[in-house]
Structure 1
Amino acid sequence: MSPRKSVAEALSTRAAILDRSVAIASAEGLEGLTIGRLAGDLGMSKAGVLGHFGSKEALQLAVLARAGEVFRAEVWEPAIPAAPGLARLRVLCEAWISYLEREVFPGGCFFVAAAHEFDGRPGPVRDAVESRFDAWRGRLRKEAGRAVDAGELPERTDPGQLVFDLLGTAMALNHAIQLHRDPRAPELARRTVQARLGRPAAATGQVRRDPPEPATDPAR
């Protein structure tokens, strides 16, 4: 076996472990991940699973990073072509609602679940969850601020309050879907977003006006 093939196989195995771990953790929590469970599900030895990460905590952090890649692809990347400010904020919110509506993760929003699980438990995993929420709030606030500065939102709009409201809407939607299985919830969320951001014009000209943002922003 060539060294190149060995590296490729190791990366493929690691990716398979992470994908299975994300599916388990989204429904059962990051603490629900056990090396034995993963080994059984994937037909591997416990040592084989652990050898890719070294510890359960390292596995949890890698799973958070993998979930962040999925969130970025689902929610941030669709908004990159939109004009910065209100147009991009609208696209972000619609992609965010769609991501929850389609249940991209089996247990709903991965990061909402992780926040509930670790918000009162100091340590590297909690810090990683907090960092991702901070980055996402910062991304939303930046676009809200651009919209205010451009006159696309009322001058007295507080970007921090707006972001608080949008985050609350997304969390309420996640709750309504996962706990209540409420089929009306996505439409209620869209109405709430429209009430805060206004109805888009017939042609918003959503064309990129600035260079692509660094990949480190919303879901690092």
Structure 2
Amino acid sequence: MKHLIVVGKKSEQLFAETSFKNQKIAFYSGLLHDIGKINPWYQEVFIATQDMTKNEYQEIKKIQEKESEKFVRQHAIFSAWAAKYLLSEIGLAYDVIDKILVLIYGHHSTIRKSLGEVKRGPQFKASHEIMKESIHEFSSQVSNISEFSELNWNSCLEFFPYSVLFDLELNSSTPDDFLEMSMAFSCLLQADTGSFKDWQTPKFELNIDTSSLVKPKQMRDLSSSAKIQQEKMGDMRNRFQKEVMGNFD
């Protein structure tokens, strides 16, 4: 619980340093990224290994393998599934919710443009079945905490038991959307890792003026050789953007 709050706030803090305005994307992706660890696989492993050290790796591995026979070792999918309903009707635009779900779903893999059908094997179904009850207990513990209080717990409790099936596709593929998602993803990953360490504020800033690269109107004042160089830079930026957007998945 504490981990979720810390990651949400740190992710938001990092994102606030960028030029992107919607900090809710960073905050809620951090706050809800690990809620799926109410999955009994994690709970059973946590309980069985809480007094063990890393030196007891083989014993820990045996416990994990035993639990994997019963439950699925996944949490990001369940986190996104819960977030889908927790974030509904709380004042967030649909496209913002979709971005948050994509970030949560991919925080141990990669961000993608769409989320669709989920493979639901016996272990997955067993985990989900127990989580239907666990989500009730979790909501009773956190729903009065300020960071969680605005979430739509009624919707989550009603719809979380449904079969997990996403039908989500990000509508826009503009460079700004790509950069916003990439930045939010980076903030989430850094906040998640940094949540276990003391937070330090950088003492220095580095600012580079790149305005000369983005002012075509100045081209007419340049010499012929300078114009050729600027045109080459323009081609390079266009190729870079095309390559980046082509690999955005």
Q: Which band: TM-score by shorter chain? A: under 0.3
User: Which structure: larger Rg?
Assistant: 2
Please state which structure has a larger fraction of its residues in helix: 1
